[in-house]
Amino acid sequence: MTSKVIVVDNGGGYVRGGFSGQTEPRRSVPNAIARSKRGSDKKLFIGDKILHSPIAEYLFLRPSQRGILCDLESQKIIWEHGLFVREKHTGSFPVLADSETSTILVTVSPFTPESVRRDIFDVLFKDYRFYRAVLIDSSICAQFSPGITAQFTPDDWANPCGLLVDVGFSFSTVIPVFQTQLVLKAAQRIPVGGRILNNLLKERLAYLQVDLDDNPLLVQHIRETVCEVAPEGLKQALTSLPTTVGYLLPEFSNDGGPFVGKLVDQFTPIPPGSQAVKIGSDRFTIPEALFNPLTFGIDSLGIVEAIVRSINLCDPSIRKCLAQKIILFGGTAMTRGFIERLRNELESNLSFPARILTEQDGRIDLTVWRGASQIASNEDDLSFFDAIFREDWSRI
């Protein structure tokens, strides 16, 4: 009998860890590693420590590429030093201290190859000696989040269909489900997520004002702070809404950070020696890549087109049922105005009503973790998702 179940949502942008049954993860850190480009100091900065490192330029590495975990050695470093530790002490997340009696649940991308899944199991069993391990597709977990199921009506519970829309960091996906299982033949994958938006903004800033190529987490913070989706469309935003805002860049020093800047208005004086960037129409045009990727040279459907195509690929008898239970999650979906724009465009592009469900507290980025935590709190659910025991792994 295991002592506890550890839950790890291993996203491309953030990795989150905690225990089963909890509504909030114990730790949530950027899924990244950084090392200074200059000087002899080769110290690694891991996860949230990157934002507190006294360096302005660093080599930056993410273990996942296009949503698939490709670098397990780097991922292990982030798990061990950014997420959980071996020693028990105040304030830690002591997962590895008693892993031999613990179960771990790790989320993976729905499109993760079987070979990568086997490599993850190898690490969990051979390197960390977990008693039992479960890998579950992140999209499956989302539909079990208590914040989502609390909004289900009796009709929703009777409806075996649903549509899972993940607007994440590495990419976006639209996947129908039937009786909680993914219908991959009608799935749509869009190569646009938070990472692409960060890159687009970084290119615009480099062309017009400042090169932040060596500071991707700062670019991400700028995007999350200033960018928003125009609910009624880009043309309306550029003609009727105020567009220009300022962002005060941080001053890198050894005072402990964190090294992110802040939003400023036109009346805020800029401190001597500081630098601010002004962001005009780009704050609306950059998120448009989610809806109109072809405008940016990305050969892909937009998120609305992908939803419509995914529904139309399913049997006509269930299309209305799918549209009535659209579960939206993923951190990039938290961009201001995104949900309203999505509702408006679905209303224009579907011949029947669409209903979008999101976390009631607005933490759309936690939907997958909360769903995984809920699954992990029920022994029958864990068994349903093919939990594997360490002693059996060598024989598989």
**Could you tell me which residues come within 8 angstroms of residue 317 by beta carbon, excluding any fewer than 6 positions away?**
none
Residue 89: per-residue pLDDT = 46
Rounded distance, CA 299 to CA 297, Å? 6
Q: Which residues contact 160 (CB under 8 A, 6 or more apart)?
A: 178, 179, 321
Q: How confident is the model at residue 84 (pLDDT cuts 50, 70, 90)?
A: confident
Question: What domains are there in the chain, each with its CATH number?
Answer: 5-141+365-393 (3.30.420.40), 151-191+300-359 (3.30.420.40), 194-288 (3.90.640.10)
Buried b (16+ CB within 10 A) or exposed e, 51-64: bebebbebebebbb
Compute CA distances 185 → 287, 323, 380, whole Å: 28, 17, 28
Cα angle for residues 288, 289, 295 (degrees, 5° grid): 95
Sign of CA pseudo-dihedral 233, 239, 241, 247: positive
Coil, strand or helix at 333? helix
Nearest to 325 by CA among 96, 149, 126, 74: 149
Predicted pLDDT of residue 308: 96
Q: Nearest-CA neighbor of 329 among 185, 135, 137?
A: 137
Q: Check the CA dihedral 322-328-330-334 and report its sign.
A: positive
Question: Chain-wide mean pLDDT for the chain?
Answer: 85
pLDDT confidence tier of residue 273, bands split at 50, 70 and 90? low
Can you give the pTM of this predicted structure? Answer: 0.89
What is the C-alpha separation between 72 and 190, in angstroms, rounded? 25
The more confidently predicted of residues 262 and 381 is 381
pLDDT in tens, 278-324: 888 888 899 999 999 998 999 999 999 999 999 999 999 999 999 99
The predicted-structure confidence for 188-211, as pLDDT tens digits, reads as follows: 999 999 999 999 999 998 888 888
Q: How sure is the predictor about 256, in pLDDT bands with cuts at 50, 70 and 90?
A: very low
Residue 166, strand partner residues: 173, 329
The H-assigned helical ranges of 246-327 are 282-285, 303-312, 319-323
Question: Is residue 178 helix, strand or coil?
Answer: strand
Lowest pLDDT segment from 55-64, 72-81, 130-139, 257-266: 257-266
The residues that bridge with 281 in the sheet, in sequence order, are none
Percent of the chain with pLDDT over 90: 49
Q: What is the DSSP letter of 249?
A: P
Between these two residues, 387 and 324, which has the higher pLDDT value? 324
- Strands 132-137 and 103-108 come out as parallel
pLDDT at 45 (0 to 100) = 83
Residue 2: pLDDT over 60: no
pLDDT at 20 over 60: yes
Summarize the confidence of residues 274-280 as an average pLDDT: 80
